[in-house]
Amino acid sequence: MKRSKNKITNFLISITLLISSPAFANTKIEIDNDTASFKNKELISGAVKVSVSYNKEDFADNSNNLQYQIFYDEILKINSSAYTRFIGSVFLKDLDNNGSFEVIVKTFSGGAHCCTDITIYTWQTNQFIKTETGFLDGEGGVFEDLDKDGKLEFSTSDNSFLYAFSSYAGSFPPSLIYAFNNGKFENVTRKYVKQLKSRAWEMYQAFLENKKENFEVNGILAGYVAQKALLGEYQQGWEFMLANYDPTSDWGLTIYQGDQDAGKYSNFPDALNAALIKQGYLDN
C-alpha cells in the first residue's frame, strides 16, 4: 500500500531536528546516509549540555556508533552510546513545559519497517531519569502540542496491530497518544477526539482503496474497530467490520500460548474480539 511505503521512504531520506530556543549553541544534530564521522558536537540549554560523537565506520558491524555525554552544570552525569543505522538524532526539548529541557536520543535499527527507539533523559532530584519508548515502527512518532498548552504530547501508533490480521502493507494500527510528565509517559489517547476522528477517516479511506483494488482489508478493519472504540463508537465500528470483512482470510486466526500453537479461532471477528480485549480496547 502506497501510504506505508511512502512513509518509510520519506523517513529514510532525512530527518530534521528543530530546536526553537535561542539558547542553543547549535540548532540541530542529525545523522543521515551522507553524514561523515564527527566528534563532540554540542547542544546547550541552560544547565543542560550534550556532547555527541558519531563514527560512520562502525555502521556496518552493528557497533554502538553514536556516543553521547550529558552534563548538568558542566558535571558529567550520563556517558552512554547506541547503535543507529541510516539516520539518528539527538535534541533538547522542554517536553513538559517546566523550564528544564529533556535530552532526546532517537535511533533507527534499520530494516524496511523497524525499528525506532527514543530515549529521553529528564533532570529530576539531582539526576537524569531515563525513559524509553521501546522499539517502534518506522519513524516511531512525533512530539507535538496537540492542545496548545505548552506541553508536548507524543503521538504514535499501536504496533501490536501490525501483521496481526494482514501483511504490513495491509495494516492500519490505531492511535496512541501519550503525555510526558515527571519522566513518565501517560496514555491520554481518548482525550484527543479531533485527532482520533481524523485517523478514523484515513482508515476508512484506506479501506475503500483496498476494497476497490481487491487487496487486504481485515488489517485495516481491525485498526478501525479499535479506533472507533477509542472514540466511544465501538458498536458502529464493529457493525461496519461485520459487513465488510474478508471471511476467506485466515491471517491472525491462530491461537498461541507462549510460542506454542494452541488452535485457531473460527473466524476473524472472534480473533479480533480477543485481540481487542487483550490490548485493552474492550473489557471482558
pLDDT bin (cut points 50, 70, 90) of residue 58 is low
User: pTM of the entire structure?
Assistant: 0.85
Q: Per-residue pLDDT averaged across 136-155, rounded?
A: 92
Ordered DSSP codes for the chain: -HHHHHHHHHHHH--------TT-SSS--EE-TTPPPEEEEEEEETTEEEEEEE-GGGTTTT---EEEEEEETTEEEEEEEE--SS-EEEEEE-TTSSS-PEEEEEEE--SSSEEEEEEEEEEETTEEEEEE---EETT--EEE-TTSSSPPEEEEE-GGGTTTSS-STT--PPEEEEEEETTEEEE-GGG-HHHHHHHHHHHHHHHHHHHHTT---HHHHHHHHHHHHHTT-HHHHHHHHHHH--TT--TT-EEEETTEEEEE-SSHHHHHHHHHHHTTSS--
pLDDT bin (cut points 50, 70, 90) of residue 60 is low
For 91-102, what is each residue's pLDDT tens digit?
999 999 998 899
Residue 26: the pLDDT is 52
Look at residue 28 and tell me whether its pLDDT is greater than 90.
no
Residue 255: the pLDDT is 87
For 219-270, what is each residue's pLDDT tens digit?
999 999 999 999 999 999 999 999 999 999 999 999 888 777 778 999 999 9
Q: Per-residue pLDDT averaged across 190-207, rounded?
A: 98
pLDDT bin (cut points 50, 70, 90) of residue 125 is confident
Q: Per-residue pLDDT averaged across 188-202, rounded?
A: 98
Residue 14: the pLDDT is 35
